[in-house]
Amino acid sequence: MSQATQGSAPRRDLTRMLRFYTFALPHWKAILVSMTALVVFTAMQLNMFLLVRPGFDVLLGAQAQAKAGNGAEGAVEQDAGAGARLKLEAWLLDLTPVRVVHKWLYSGDRLKKLVILLACFVAPLVFVSGFAYQYIHRRVVWHVMGRLRVAVFERLSGLSLGYFGGQRTGDLVSRLTNDISRAQTVLKLLFGSLIQQPLLILGLLTVAVLQSWQLTLLCLATFPAVIVVQGRYGRRIRRHSQKNLARLGDITDGITQMLQGIRVVKSFDGAEMENERFRDSTAAQVSRACKLVRTRGWADMLPEFMLAEIFALCVAVAGALVARGKLDVGAMVACVAALAGTANPTRRIVTAYNDLQQSLAGVDRIFELLDSAPDIQEDPDAVEIDGVREGVRFEDVWFTYDSEPVLQGVDLFVPQGKTYAIVGETGAGKSTMLDLIPRFYDVQKGAVCIDGLDVRRIKHASLMRQIAIVGQHPFLFNRTVAENIRYGKPDATDEEVVAAAKAANLDEFIEGLPDGYDTMAGEYGDRFSGGQRQCVTIARAILRNAPILILDEATSNLDAESEMLVQRALGNLMDGRTTLVIAHRLSTVRHADRIIVLKGGRIIEEGTHEELLEQGGEYERLYRLQFLEAPAQDDPSAPRPAVRRGSGQVAPGPSGEDE
C-alpha cells in the first residue's frame, strides 16, 4: 500500500463515520443528554481515584511515617522535585468546588467524611448518571439503526429493475441484516468507548501527574508502541471482516436459493447437492472467520502484554523513587493506582478500535448500496398525465442489454382501446419491448410515447397509474387475499375490493376459504393454485383500473380448466383498455385487433390473424409449427371463441381454448 493510500485511509474512515452519524442528527437532544450523563459518570469514576490518597493517609498514616523516616533533607529534595505538582494542586484548590470539598474532607473525622462522600454523593451519582447514559444512548442506537435499515430498504425498492439482474438476492438480504447489525457497533462506539475511555484516561493521567510526573511520563512514553501495533492489526481486521461479510452473503444467498427453489430441489432429489454447496459455503465462511479471529486475538492480546510490561516497569520505578525519598508512599499508591486504572480504558479503546475496523467493513457495504443510483431517473420537468386518449407509440426504438441489440428500430402505434398481440420466438425482444412502457428500462435510442408525450417526461407515479401488468408468474405476498388485491389501489374500499374479485371470477373461491378475504395467501401465494393466484393478480389489475394493460404470457403456465377461468377474468379486465399481449401460444392471440411479429428485435410482420396466415411468412410458419399435430384447431368449422373486435373482450369456446 502506497503512502498516499495509507495517509488517505484515516480520512476516508472519518468521512464514512461522519456520514454514518448523520443518521443520528434527528436525535441530537437525546445524544446531548446522554453525553452529559457520560461526562458526569466519568467524573465520578475519577473521584474514586482522587480519594485513594486521602483514604490511604487516613487509614495508615503513611505520609507522616514517610516524613519521619526520610528526614529533613529528603523532604527538601522531595519538595524540590514536586514543585510542578504542588503548583498544579494549588491551582486546583483555587477552584471553589474543589476548595470546599477539600476543606470539608480534611477537617474533623476524615474517615467518617470520606465514607459519607462515597456513600451519599459519589455512588448515587455513579448510578444515576450511568443508568441515564446507558438507557438513552442504547435507545438512540436502536432508533438510528431503524432509520438506517429503512433507508437501505427504500434505496433497494427505488433502484431500477436492471440493478437486480446483476445482484444475488441473498447478498442483498445479508446487507439488510448482517451488515447493518455489524454497523451497529459504530454507533455504540460513538456514544461509548471512543468518548468515555479517552476522557477517563485523560483524567487518570491528570491524577497520576499530581502524584508523580516521572512515573506518568514513563507511562506515556510507551503508548506510541501500543498505537503502532493497533494501527497495523486494525487494517488487517478491516480486510478480513469485509471478506467475512461477503462469505456471510454467500451463505444467506444459498439459504434463499434453496427456499425459493424447494420444489425443484425436491423434484430432482437435489437435497444432497444443495447440502454440499451449503457445506462448502459455510466452510469458506468459517475459514475466513478464523483468520479474522486470529487477527483479532493478536490485536487484543499484544497491547494487553505491553500494558502488563509497562505496569511492571512503573512499579519498579515507583519503588526506586520511594527508596530514594523522591516520592512518599501515599503518592506512590495513588499514582500507581491511577496508572493501573488506565489499563482497562486503554484495553477498551483497543477493543473499540478493532470493533470499529470490523464494523466499518459493514458500513462500506451499506454505503455501497446506498450510493447505487437508479438507472431510471425522473426528469426535473416531468409532468402528470390523466388517462390515455390517443394511444401508445414506439418511435424508432433501439435497446441493448450488453453488446447485442435486443430491439432495432421498432416503430409501432397502438391506438387507445385496441388489443395488440406481440408474438415471436424466444429472445425476439417481446418482453423487453413492453418493459419500456412502464420504464423498467429506458430506450437507448428513439422514444416510447403516450399520447405523443415521451414516457421519460412523465412523472413516474403518474405513469404507473396508467398501467396495469399481469405477468407470467403470478406473485402474491404472504398477506391476506384482500391485501393482495388492494395492492393495486391501497386506498380502495372493501366494496371496491369485493367488486374487483367478482370481476375476476374469484367470489366463489374466496367464499369457500376458511377466513374469506382475510385468509393468508402463504409464501409466494403457495396456498392457492396457479389459476387462483393469477385471478388474484387480475383482480389487483382490475382494481387499479388503468387505461393501459400489459399481459405477459398470463395463461402460459395454466391447465385447461384454470386457463378458462383466467380467460374469463381477462375478458373483463381487457374491455375498453389499450392492451398489449405477449403470447407464445398463438391460439390465444389470433382474435386480437392486430398481431405484431418480432424477429431479431425487428418488426417483420403486422396484421390480423387471417392476413398474416395469407402472407405465408414468419407468423404462418410459427402457427403451423404449433398446430401441426392439431389441424382441427385451425379448422374453420371448429367452434370459435366469442370475440368482440375492438373491445378486447374475450370468452373461451367450448373446447376451453383461451384467447
- Do both 387 and 363 map to the same domain? no
The pLDDT score that the predictor gives to residue 249 is 76
Q: What's the DSSP call for residue 198?
A: H
Q: Which residues pair with 550 in a beta bridge?
A: 469, 580
- The more confident residue out of 649 and 181 is 181
Residue 37: inside a domain: yes
- The more confident residue out of 520 and 75 is 520
The pLDDT score that the predictor gives to residue 635 is 43
> What's 159's domain CATH number?
1.20.1560.10
- Of 350, 370, 390, the residue at which a domain comes to its end is 370
Residue 484: inside a domain: no
- Do both 154 and 271 map to the same domain? yes
- Of 370, 399, 427, the residue at which a domain comes to its end is 370
Half-sphere exposure of 525 (CA within 13 A, CB side): 20
- Do both 177 and 97 map to the same domain? yes
Interatomic CA distance for residues 204 and 336, integer angstroms: 10
Interatomic CA distance for residues 632 and 638, integer angstroms: 7
At 518, is the pLDDT very low, low, confident or very high (cuts 50, 70, 90)?
very high
Whether the per-residue pLDDT at 646 is higher than 60: the answer is: no
Strongest mean pLDDT among 19-33, 538-552, 644-658: 538-552
- Do both 172 and 243 map to the same domain? yes
Q: What is the pLDDT of residues 547-595, one digit of tens each?
A: 999 988 877 666 677 777 777 778 777 888 899 999 877 877 878 899 9
Angle at 104 between CA 101 and CA 106, to 5 degrees: 105
> What's 452's domain CATH number?
3.40.50.300
At 454, is the pLDDT very low, low, confident or very high (cuts 50, 70, 90)?
very high
Whether the per-residue pLDDT at 157 is higher than 60: the answer is: yes
The pLDDT score that the predictor gives to residue 645 is 35
Q: What mean pLDDT is predicted for residues 228-249?
A: 75
Q: What's the DSSP call for residue 604?
A: E
- Please check whether residue 596 is in contact with residue 603, taking contact to mean a CB–CB distance below 8 angstroms: yes
Residue 5: inside a domain: no
Residue 500: inside a domain: no
Residue 181: inside a domain: yes
- E-state strands within 309-461: 391-400, 405-415, 419-423, 445-450, 453-454
Strongest mean pLDDT among 50-64, 296-310, 380-394: 380-394
Q: What is the pLDDT of residues 471-514, one digit of tens each?
A: 888 888 888 999 999 988 888 999 999 998 888 888 888 988 88
- Do both 343 and 387 map to the same domain? no
- Helices 329-341, 28-50: axis angle to 10 degrees equals 150
Residue in 66, 46, 70, 44 with CA at minimum distance from that of residue 56: 66
Interatomic CA distance for residues 525 and 527, integer angstroms: 5
The pLDDT score that the predictor gives to residue 447 is 95
- E-state strands within 380-435: 391-400, 405-415, 419-423
Q: What mean pLDDT is predicted for residues 95-120?
A: 62
The pLDDT score that the predictor gives to residue 263 is 59
- Please check whether residue 391 is in contact with residue 466, taking contact to mean a CB–CB distance below 8 angstroms: no
Whether the per-residue pLDDT at 20 is higher than 70: the answer is: yes
Mean pLDDT check: name the lowest of 180-184, 225-229, 245-249. Answer: 225-229
**The total number of structural domains that make up the chain:** 2
Helices (H) and strands (E) in the chain, counts: 26, 12
Residue in 579, 583, 595, 519 with CA at minimum distance from that of residue 554: 583
The pLDDT score that the predictor gives to residue 390 is 92
Whether the per-residue pLDDT at 320 is higher than 50: the answer is: yes
**What is the separation of C-alpha 508 from the centre of its chain, rounded to a whole number of angstroms?**
42
The pLDDT score that the predictor gives to residue 633 is 43
Q: What mean pLDDT is predicted for residues 183-204?
A: 77
- Which class for 9: exposed (0-12), middle (13-18), buried (19 or more C-beta within 10 A)? middle
- Do both 418 and 277 map to the same domain? no
Q: What mean pLDDT is predicted for residues 286-305?
A: 79
- Report pTM: 0.66
Interatomic CA distance for residues 371 and 365, integer angstroms: 10
Segment (H or E) for 203 = helix 193-211
The pLDDT score that the predictor gives to residue 66 is 43
Interatomic CA distance for residues 501 and 486, integer angstroms: 10
- Do both 142 and 289 map to the same domain? yes
- The more confident residue out of 286 and 17 is 286
Strongest mean pLDDT among 46-50, 388-392, 631-635: 388-392
Distances (CA, A) of 379 to 60, 160, 266, 447, 460: 82, 15, 48, 14, 9
Distances (CA, A) of 390 to 240, 384, 649: 59, 16, 20
- Of 370, 402, 431, the residue at which a domain comes to its end is 370
Percent over 90 (pLDDT), the chain: 16
Strands 594-599 and 445-450: unpaired
Residue 95: inside a domain: yes
The pLDDT score that the predictor gives to residue 10 is 64
Q: What mean pLDDT is predicted for residues 129-133?
A: 84
DSSP characters over 24-41: GGGGHHHHHHHHHHHHHH
Interatomic CA distance for residues 267 and 35, integer angstroms: 59
At 655, is the pLDDT very low, low, confident or very high (cuts 50, 70, 90)?
very low
Half-sphere exposure of 233 (CA within 13 A, CB side): 24
- The more confident residue out of 89 and 446 is 446
The pLDDT score that the predictor gives to residue 451 is 93
Residue 521: inside a domain: no
- Do both 288 and 402 map to the same domain? no
Distances (CA, A) of 420 to 416, 546, 589, 592, 607: 11, 17, 9, 6, 10
The pLDDT score that the predictor gives to residue 450 is 94
- Do both 128 and 200 map to the same domain? yes
Interatomic CA distance for residues 349 and 230, integer angstroms: 10
Q: What mean pLDDT is predicted for residues 224-235?
A: 72
Domain encompassing residue 453 = 380-466+577-631
Whether the per-residue pLDDT at 225 is higher than 80: the answer is: no
Mean pLDDT check: name the lowest of 2-6, 44-48, 98-102, 482-486. Answer: 2-6
The pLDDT score that the predictor gives to residue 356 is 78
- Please check whether residue 513 is in contact with residue 529, taking contact to mean a CB–CB distance below 8 angstroms: no
At 140, is the pLDDT very low, low, confident or very high (cuts 50, 70, 90)?
confident
Residue 455: inside a domain: yes
- Do both 192 and 323 map to the same domain? yes
- In whole numbers, what is the pLDDT of the chain averaged over residues? 77
- E-state strands within 517-648: 548-552, 578-582, 594-599, 602-607, 643-644
- Do both 224 and 355 map to the same domain? yes
Interatomic CA distance for residues 88 and 557, integer angstroms: 86
At 603, is the pLDDT very low, low, confident or very high (cuts 50, 70, 90)?
very high
At 183, is the pLDDT very low, low, confident or very high (cuts 50, 70, 90)?
confident
Q: What is the pLDDT of residues 322-332, one digit of tens each?
A: 777 777 776 77
Whether the per-residue pLDDT at 234 is higher than 80: the answer is: no
Q: 574 CB contacts (<8 Å, ≥6 apart)?
A: 419, 549, 551, 647, 648, 649, 650
- Please check whether residue 650 is in contact with residue 421, taking contact to mean a CB–CB distance below 8 angstroms: no
At 134, is the pLDDT very low, low, confident or very high (cuts 50, 70, 90)?
confident
- Do both 406 and 439 map to the same domain? yes
